[in-house]
Amino acid sequence: MKYLTRMLALTRFLLLRKQWKDIRGVLNLLTRDQENVLGAMVYGELQRAAKHPVPRFYASQQMEAYSPWGDALTAAWDKICSDEPQVQLRGLAVWLAVAFHETHNAALPMLSRLNSEISDSVARYRQLHERLLAIRAAA
């Protein structure tokens, strides 16, 4: 059972790493306005995910008993691949929030390293949104 668990975790890591590589490319192409919108979306998705009883299952449509993860990242990935920019941003925000929570307490060192990379991006967008809120409050 131990080997099966490690194999499932490794398979999940490979999928998430591939998606993360593509997502980083998309994030690097965002305009300043899109980054501001994404910051607000990431901020909101993180808050909603944190309030969910099991944050790694946030935004999942189907949760199977004993499943270590839901289908939210697949649905978010489909949105990221959309041609509509607003849908892409929503998919990016959900993907970042769910992937952050899913890899947060990972036992595999590979998933922990992936979490630190995702955490850096999540923190960047959260801080961007908080700065914009502070600027608006000061005006």
For residue 49, give Cα distances in angstroms to 26, 30, 95, 103, 114.
23, 24, 11, 13, 19
Q: What is the pLDDT of residue 29?
A: 95
How many angstroms separate the CA atoms of 49 and 44, rounded?
Answer: 9
Domain that holds residue 92: 2-138
pLDDT in tens, 73-125: 999 999 999 999 999 999 999 999 999 998 888 878 898 999 999 999 999 99
Instruction: Write down the pLDDT at residue 125.
Output: 96
pLDDT band, residue 4 (cuts 50/70/90): confident
Q: What is the pLDDT of residues 41-79, one digit of tens each?
A: 999 999 998 888 777 767 777 766 556 777 889 999 999
DSSP 71-96: SHHHHHHHHHTSSSHHHHHHHHHHHH
Q: Which of 21, 44, 33 is nearest to 122 (CA)?
A: 44
Buried b (16+ CB within 10 A) or exposed e, 28-49: eebeeebebbbbbbbbebbeeb
Which residue has 């990935």 as its token pair? 77
pLDDT of res. 63: 65
Distance, in Å, from the CA atom of 10 to the CA atom of 25, rounded to the nearest integer, reads: 23
Q: Work out the average pLDDT over 19-29.
A: 96
* pLDDT of res. 66: 59
More confident residue, 3 or 40: 40
Structurally, how many domains does the chain consist of? 1
